[in-house]
Structure 1
Amino acid sequence: MKNKSILILLIVLSILSACNSNKNEIKDSPLYKGKELTIGIIGKPPAIREENIVFRKMELKGLSEKNLASKFNSVFIMKEHLSEAAKASYASIYRNSGIPFFFIESKKSYIPFVLEDADYEDFSDSKSGYYASGYYQSGEEGRHWEFGLYNDKVNKVNILDAYSRIFKTIETVDNGK
C-alpha cells in the first residue's frame, strides 16, 4: 500500500510540474549570431543576450548629423523619447538616413515618426500588442516591421527574444545595401 501511495504521489507531482511550465515565455529563442552591429541609442540601452552588439548613446539632436549610416547600423529610440522623436523635424531623417530606425515600446506604430504633419499624441494607441516598430527607407521605397512578444506577454524572456529578432532584421537590411 505504501508503494502504491508513493507511485500515485509521483504521478501527481509529474502532472503538476508539466502543467506548471510557463506558457507565457518563448522557448528556444535563437540568439543573433551575425556580424557585430553598432546601434545608436536614444535613451537607456536595453538588457540583451548578445555580445556582438555595441550601443552608442546619442541625443535626439544627433540625428541631424550627416552620414548616420557611416556610424551606425541602426538607431533605437526608447519609450521615454518617442513623443519628442515624432516631431516633424525628424521625419525626413527617418526617411533619408539610409539606416533602419526602431521605436521601442511605441504603441502607435512607425507612422507618427515618418509623417511631418502629425504629432505622436494625435495617434491612438494600437491594440496590436507590438513591442517595437521599425522603419527603413531606401530611395522611394519604405519598409516597416512590427515586433510582438510571445503570447503578448511582457516579460524578460520575451523581450530578449524580440531584440534578437530586431538584430537579425538589421543585419538583413545592412547586407541588402
Structure 2
Amino acid sequence: MMKNAMVLFCICLMLMVCKSNADSVDTPPYEGPPFEGRSLVIGLIGETPNIREENIDFEEVTFKQLEEGLSSDLDAIFITKEFLVEASNPQYAKVYHHSDIPFFYIESKKSHVPFTIEELSYADVPDLSAYAYATGYYGEESHYWEYGLYNDVRNESNIQDVYSRIFTTIESLQL
C-alpha cells in the first residue's frame, strides 16, 4: 500500500513538472546589435519592464515630446498599458505614421488600429488580438507585428521572451 502511494506521488510530481514546463518557454535573451558596444535605446511612456537583457537602455518620453519631435538617439518607443488610452488620441496618429522608428503598444488587445486611425478612440475599437501581449507599428513602412505569450500563459518567462523578440525586431529594422 505504501509503495503504491509513493508511485502515485511520483507520477503526480512528474505531471506537475511537465505542466509547468509546458506553460513557459525557455529562449535565449536578445544578445544585441552586431555593432559592438551599442545598446538599444528605447523611449518609454510608462513603467520600465522587467527584462533579461542588460544591453537595453530605457529613456523616459512624454506625449509632448511625441508631438514636438523625438530624439534621433531612440531606436523605438514603448507605450505601456496604463497609457494606451491617451496614446490613441487623434493628434498622435500622424506621429506614428510618419515616424522613422517603430512604436510598441504593450498589453494592447486592439492591435495598432486605435493608434493609427485618427477617427477611432481606444474605447471604439473592439479587442482584435485576443492572444497578443504587444503590438508593434512602423509607420514609415506601414508594418505591424503582434507578439503573443507562449501557450497564452502570462508569466515572467513568457513576458521576457516577448521583449526579447521585440528587441530582435527593432534590430532588424536598423540593418
1:18 partner letter: M
Q: How many Å separate the matches in 2 of 1:59 and 1:15?
A: 53
Q: Does 1:72 align with 2:74?
A: yes
In our comparison, the structure showing a higher alpha carbon Rg is: 1
Q: Tell me how far apart the structure 1 counterparts of residues 26 and 156 of structure 2 sit (CA, whole Å).
A: 14
Residue correspondences, number: 168
CA deviation after TM superposition for structure 1 residue 24, in Å: 4.9
How far off is 1:118 after superposition?
1.3
In structure 2, the partner of 1:162 is 162
The question of whether the paired residues in 1 share the 8 Å contact of 2:26 and 2:157 is answered with: no
Structure 1 residues without counterparts, runs of 5 or longer: none
Gaps of 5+ in 2: 34-38
Query: Take 1:112 and 1:126, find their aligned partners in 2: how far apart are those partners?
Result: 11
Determine the C-alpha separation between the residues in 2 that align with 1:134 and 1:78. 12
RMSD: 1.9
- Give the structure 2 partner of residue 18 of structure 1: 14
> TM-score scaled to structure 2, two decimals?
0.87
1:38 aligns with 2:41: yes
Q: CA shift at 1:134, angstroms?
A: 0.4
| 2:109 equivalent in structure 1 | 107
Query: 1:78: Cα distance to partner?
Result: 0.5
Is it true that 1:48 corresponds to 2:51 in the alignment? Answer: yes
Q: Residue 5 of structure 1: CA displacement?
A: 6.0
State the shift of 1:66 in Å. 2.8
Number of the residue aligned with 2:97: 95
Distance in 2 separating the partners of 1:161 and 1:16: 28
Instruction: Give CA deviations for 1:103-156 in whole Å, capped at 9, x if unaligned.
Output: 001111111101111111110123522100000022xx3100000001111111
Q: 1:14 to 1:45 in 2, by over 3 A?
A: same
2:81 aligned with 1:83: no
For 2:36, the equivalent position in structure 1 comes to none
- Give the counterpart letter for 1:111 in structure 2: V
In structure 1, distance between residues paired with 2:54 and 2:84: 26
